[in-house]
A and B are shown apart, each in its own frame.
Chain A
Amino acid sequence: MMNFKVEKRVETSRFLYIFYIGALILGMLAASLFFSVRGINPLFALSKIFMGAFGSALGIRETIAKSIPLMLCATGLIIAFRGKFWNIGAEGQLLIGAMFATWIGLRFGASHGPLFVIPLMFLSGFAGGALWGIIPAVLKVKFGVNEVIATIMLNYIASNLIQYLVYGPWKGKTHYGFPYTDDFAPSARLPLIPGTRIHYYTLIIAILLAIATYFFINRVKYGYEIKVTGENPEAARYSGMNFLKITIITLILSGGFAGIAGVGEVAGIHFHLTYPDQISAGYGFTAIIIAWLSRLNPLLAIFVSFFFGGILVGGDVIQTSFGLPAATINIFNSLILIFVLMGTFFMEYRVSFAKE
């Protein structure tokens, strides 16, 4: 009788990256199969997607704009995942960040200059996201509540809270009763690169934070402690690390970064708060994929975010050029993710057939 035997590889040899590349190619092939079934030349389809995202100034501009929230959420998630804290709540943390920044923007935007308002919006957005991150951290360490459940549920709470605000107390006077807050005054809006929707303040912050996170994880004591508590809680306990403190620091950063992404979306794209699925097109969830595809390396996450921003933007052409349903791009994304995750698995584990 044949049995599978799965062992963890002792060391990952450099040739094993072939799995990663092979996985990407297999993912593309699987997607191609899908296009072929719909009677579309897959090479043509893939080239259209890539051209749509990276092949024109228009595409690149949009791809960069899309990659900003992805990058911030992914960087935050990497910190949490390094500490083996499964934060599925970046979406909610982003929304609360957007909500805090909106309050600042509406309260001070008209009366104060941008030098005061913009930094305050970023800080409050960070604080909002961090607050939404601390809740599951405390729940986990103090009460043993599973963080996956807690963070998922907090997404819903955040989403409903915002819905309540834009349909109720925060509903703007200038939008004919539609669910939007009033628009931000100019000093509460992020400057854009002219002719684009790239709010470059947020982009710069995102890249700097990704680089800083890389050094934080690898060089700073707290970063080291986050890794240790994640990988070997027993050892961490014996060496006297403070679980609660470390988990809270992890989630302040993780949630805070997502919160900053929320600031960018309301202050750089929408200029008002509106219902949640418009503020975030699932960035907090897509960022989970990005974090894993970057192998929890924040520097890689910069590029993977750009790549995924491109897939989101290039996905338009699937509809405009081929008339395929909007869901097609999700299939495309998922196929690539599934294959890359399988590739990652084979990189870390050896599977052999054993005879009993």
Chain B
Amino acid sequence: MKKGKKVLSVLLAIFFALTFLLTSCTTPTTPTPQTEVQEKRIKAGFIYVGPIGDYGYSNAHDVGRRYVEEKFPWLDTVYIESVPEGDVERYIDRLINDEKCDIVFTTSFGFMDGTAKAAKKYPDKVFEHCSGYVRDTNLGTYFAELYQMYYLNGLMAGALTKSNKIGYVAAFPTPEVVRHINAYALGVKETNPDAKVYVRWLYAWYDPAKAKEAAESLITEGVDALAFTEDSTAVIDSGEEHTKQGKQIYVFSHYSPMQKFGPDTVVSGQLVDWGIMYEEILRRLYTNTWDNRDYWWLAKEGACDLGGEFGVPINPKFESELKSKKVKDPIFGEISVYDLVMKRLAQMKEPTVLFDPFTGPIKDQSGSVRIKAGERASHDLLWSVDWFVDNVVGEVPKSQ
């Protein structure tokens, strides 16, 4: 007891001494000059769920942040990475009170409740939540969606595979990932009706070791074309290794430009551009035209693009192979897969979106029709999809 008390008092003494010492030596803050004709400035705070060094999701958002910061002279930005979902309110408090942010972007679905609460708490600030569905007078939502690119990747995978076994290394069974697997499988089906798509779940957004293991196990089972959702280059490393050893593996890079990590194995991929979304939202805020709309941006708006490198939709190494493979299309007639990919990309970039991969008839694994002939999937269907199309092997973990 005695001993404990002593340690306690000593510790407390240190603690208070330190608090006093440290709090008393804060550098004086310079008062901001209050000139009347000052140009409007905006400070934007960004909250990321992962580390920006992950070369995936959070990194892509940060690329967007740096893009707008460079673009707009009136903009200051600040970011926080690796924020636990349950703690987002605290970080928002800090960004608003300490950093004096005018707008806060929260970039993960799990930040939704916290962001909604903060929007109520700070009615004169603006909030933008990425990938959610809750909006408020001062809270908007935005999302850059990649499924069209996965579909184009699927067209190429179906054309290139020799074994008719296509793989997908998947992070988590969320609707977003399920949607991407389906789009990929629909592409595969179009160029190769006999091929099947095999899925491996990682239960991690970032886990290079598991991703590599999953890729290796798929390759061992005869898979020779791989797409993935995981925030590292592990699957590409695997593909490059096998390709160098003489067994050609076709890989589609994910989210960030990764072709340079596998020049012999990366055929194409999906690229995201958050920068133009941030540009649009911030420009609206700057010009007092901001509203709480729901941005769901696809190829047409330029939020996503095809390729493993910006400006390189298809790795030139695979061009001739894709050009020599012909398929029959009801509209284009006999066409090479290379041209088909380019035409589809152009169609999806049209303001009227001339083509969408989720156009019926589309059947699920049990054979029942989920999207009727001639219909396009609604936003809500895509948003909450929890079933696979019929050429996928594997299952979506189901709730009871």
Which A residues are within 8 Å of any B CB, using their own CB? Answer: 14, 17, 20-21, 24, 43-44, 46-48, 50-52, 54-55, 58, 62, 160, 163-164, 167-173, 176-179, 197, 214, 218, 265, 269-270, 274, 277-279, 281, 295, 297, 299-300, 303-304, 307, 313, 316-317, 319-321, 323, 325-327
Q: How far is the CA of A48 from the CA of B22 in the complex (A)?
A: 8
Q: Determine if A17 and B86 form an interchain contact, defined as CB atoms under 8 angstroms apart.
A: no
Q: Determine if B90 and A313 form an interchain contact, defined as CB atoms under 8 angstroms apart.
A: yes
Which B residues are in CB contact (< 8 Å) with A320?
78, 80, 91, 94-95, 98-99
Q: Determine if A270 and B8 form an interchain contact, defined as CB atoms under 8 angstroms apart.
A: no
Q: How far is the CA of A179 from the CA of B172 in the complex (A)?
A: 9
In B366-396, the 8 Å CB interface with A consists of: 383-386
B287 beta carbon closer than 8 Å to chain A: no
Q: Determine if A319 and B18 form an interchain contact, defined as CB atoms under 8 angstroms apart.
A: no
B23 beta carbon closer than 8 Å to chain A: yes
Q: Determine if A178 and B174 form an interchain contact, defined as CB atoms under 8 angstroms apart.
A: yes
Q: Determine if A21 and B10 form an interchain contact, defined as CB atoms under 8 angstroms apart.
A: yes
Known: A176-B133, A278-B85, A321-B98. A50 touches B19 (CB 8 A): yes
Beyond the given pairs A52-B98, A326-B80, 5 more chain A to chain B contacts, judged by CB atoms under 8 angstroms and listed by A's residue number, are A17-B10, A43-B22, A167-B203, A172-B399, A316-B80
Which A residues are in CB contact (< 8 Å) with B23?
47, 50-51, 54-55
Which B residues are in CB contact (< 8 Å) with A46?
22
Q: How far is the CA of A173 from the CA of B398 in the complex (A)?
A: 11
B331 beta carbon closer than 8 Å to chain A: no
Q: How far is the CA of A160 from the CA of B204 in the complex (A)?
A: 11
Q: Determine if B87 and A281 form an interchain contact, defined as CB atoms under 8 angstroms apart.
A: yes
Distance of A101 from chain B, by nearest CB (Å): 15
Q: Determine if B90 and A316 form an interchain contact, defined as CB atoms under 8 angstroms apart.
A: yes
Partner of B110, one of A265, A274, A317: A274
A281 nearest CB neighbor, chain B only: B84
The secondary structure that dominates the B interface is helix
Partner of A21, one of B14, B80, B87: B14
Known: A218-B1, A319-B80. A168 touches B398 (CB 8 A): yes
Which B residues are in CB contact (< 8 Å) with A176?
133, 175, 383-384
Which A residues are in CB contact (< 8 Å) with B86?
265, 269-270, 278-279, 281
Against A, the Cβ 8 Å flags (1 = close, 0 = not) of B44-87 are 00000001110000000000000000000000001111101111
Which B residues are in CB contact (< 8 Å) with A299?
4, 8
B263 beta carbon closer than 8 Å to chain A: no
Partner of A50, one of B22, B87, B93, B173: B22
Which A residues are in CB contact (< 8 Å) with B95?
320
Q: Determine if A62 and B90 form an interchain contact, defined as CB atoms under 8 angstroms apart.
A: yes
